[in-house]
Amino acid sequence: MKSERLRKIIAEGEGIQAEFKSCSYQLSRDVYETICAFLNRSGGHLLLGVNNDGTIEGVFEDSVGEIITNLVTTCNNSSRLSPTFYLSTEIVKIEGKNIIYIYVPESSQVHNTAGRIFDRNSEGDFDITDNSDLVAQLYLRKQSTFSENKIYPYLSIDDFEPELFGKVRTLAKNQRADHPWQTMSNEEILKSSGLWKKDLQKGIEGYTLAAAVLLGEDRTILNVLPYYKTDAILRIENVDRYDDRDDVRCNLIKAYTRLNEFIRKHLPDKFYMEGTQRISLRDKIFREIVANILVHREFMNHFPAKLIIEQDRVFTENANRPHGIGPIDPANFSPYPKNPTIARFFKEIGYVEELGSGIRNTTKLLKAYTPNGKPEFIEGDIFKTIIPVKIPLFVEKRHTIPIEKHIRKIDPVAESLNDFINEGINEGVNEGVNEGVNEDADERISEVIRKELVKVIKEIINHPGQKAIEISKKIKKSKQTAERYIRILRNYKIVEFQGVPKTGGYYLTESFKKRLKE
């Protein structure tokens, strides 16, 4: 329980990673000094509504909302906190009183509040602005702590993919209509995002490793990190090698897209109502997993990241700079940023949410995605994520709809197809139909999809060996839709892929050919 954990922090008293502020009805000015100091040092726990001696005073009920709004807004105001930093807050009841809890992570950058730089020790916050030695040590510590801050003085704007800047502007605008990137040059976007730094001790300045891996051209990635790659593997039938593979060695923006496409290609979807909005559970869960292996990896480690889909699980591995060993408890953990500049860039374009959201969201949503779904997150030199799934997934027998009267009017082939798909396939061919959809609507969707399945089968009969992209053009559907239809037919042993990924294609199975002859 969060309240028990906070009680323990309060009982231990204030220290280098814990600070209490009364703030019963408004924020005190020194709150931002503490936030700045935590960011600059090693992070910490900030509790509002608690006196210095640990007495729980609480925050007035009618002041909670205003305090949280002011805190979040001010931390995103560069004149108050620079560079800005997004912080999440929680309201926890202790002894019937409101405590506002803020976990402040360590940042990869040096922050100041109102132009003053604060650091932290066991006695509290102290202003080091006028002490050049301490400021220099702080910059040096940041650069040595986070490998993403490594400076490459010969890296130039020509080493980045120019078209990606237009993409990130659009993505940022989708998150916030008045996002400042809209009016910035490419160089200004890089510098404002902390992707250009100056080493005050070595006397060098330039774009960083984070800049290179986020937006660099392929040749740039190869020069900066020759061993960098993410291996996406499907291993269902050919468990000794693989059924499909994508060797991803591009920048993180493109890698995010390619890995999510690999997931969509091989994992079925299940739609879900989040409030009044219908969302894709597959996309919601696995975008978090993909973002995690891209953002929170130790890039200076030669270990290649992996995303592997197997019959009963999806698991990932990536090099890590651990802050603990063993399984992570999603209900009781403090997130620690591995590459905060990269994470913040991903947040600006909507690829991630706040720090720690990936573990929480995956744990919450997986229960709806697969029965008894409980993910595992294992911290160590190699960070591992294990997501239990089944391939094929979520083919449930809710009810069987008689379809003979529909299917036989379409094509003679359909009558044989009917025997394969009539039992238990209703949920499989109607991915995305929630419990709230009525049976009549469900039947109409079933008929439409069954017609499309017949089109795919006819196309494979007439032109065996085609790839999904070729089939999609013939049936005039998107490649993603065609792959979904093919996946349904593969699950029911109607079609199969023969050959290697580059030259192979789809054919009818021998069992289905026999059925057609019968």
**What CATH code is carried by the domain that includes residue 461?**
1.10.10.10
| Residue 430 near residue 445 (C-beta atoms within 8 A) | yes
Tally of domains within the chain = 4
Best mean pLDDT range from 86-100, 248-262, 388-402, 409-423: 248-262
Does one domain contain both 284 and 378?
yes
Helix ranges (H only) for 126-177 are 132-145, 162-175
Q: How far apart are the first and last CA of the chain?
A: 63
Does one domain contain both 330 and 311?
yes
What six digits make up the tokens of 178?
Answer: 């008045």
Comparing C-alpha atoms, which of 39, 190, 223 is closest to residue 118? 39
Mean pLDDT of 79-87: 85
Task: Please give the model's pTM, rounded to 2 decimal places.
Answer: 0.57
Does one domain contain both 179 and 109?
no
Calculate the average pLDDT of the chain. 82
Give the whole-angstrom CA distance, residue 81 versus residue 85.
8
Out of 330, 363, 388, a domain closes at 388
Mean pLDDT of 241-263: 94
Out of 132, 159, 184, a domain closes at 132
Out of 106, 132, 158, a domain closes at 132
Of 148-152, 268-272, 442-446, 509-513, give the lowest mean pLDDT range.
Answer: 442-446
Does one domain contain both 194 and 82?
no
Mean pLDDT of 304-319: 93
Neighbour tally for 123: CB within 10 Å: 9
pLDDT score at 500: 77
Burial class of residue 104, CB neighbours in 10 A (0-12, 13-18, 19+): buried
pLDDT digits (tens, 9 = 90+) for 445-487: 355 677 788 888 888 888 889 999 999 998 888 888 888 888 8
Judge whether residue 412 has pLDDT over 50.
Answer: no
Give the whole-angstrom CA distance, residue 56 versus residue 58.
6
pLDDT score at 118: 96
Comparing C-alpha atoms, which of 135, 100, 97 is closest to residue 116? 135
pLDDT digits (tens, 9 = 90+) for 6-62: 888 999 999 988 999 988 888 888 999 999 999 998 889 999 999 988 999 999 998
The residue to which tokens 């593997």 are assigned: 233
Does one domain contain both 363 and 283?
yes
Judge whether residue 294 has pLDDT over 70.
Answer: yes
In a domain, 395, yes or no: no
Specify the CATH number for the domain of residue 367.
3.30.565.60
Burial class of residue 341, CB neighbours in 10 A (0-12, 13-18, 19+): buried
pLDDT digits (tens, 9 = 90+) for 117-161: 999 988 889 999 999 888 888 887 776 678 899 999 999 999 999
Does one domain contain both 259 and 339?
yes
Does one domain contain both 338 and 421?
no
Give the whole-angstrom CA distance, residue 414 versus residue 451.
8
Which domain, by its residues, includes 187?
142-224
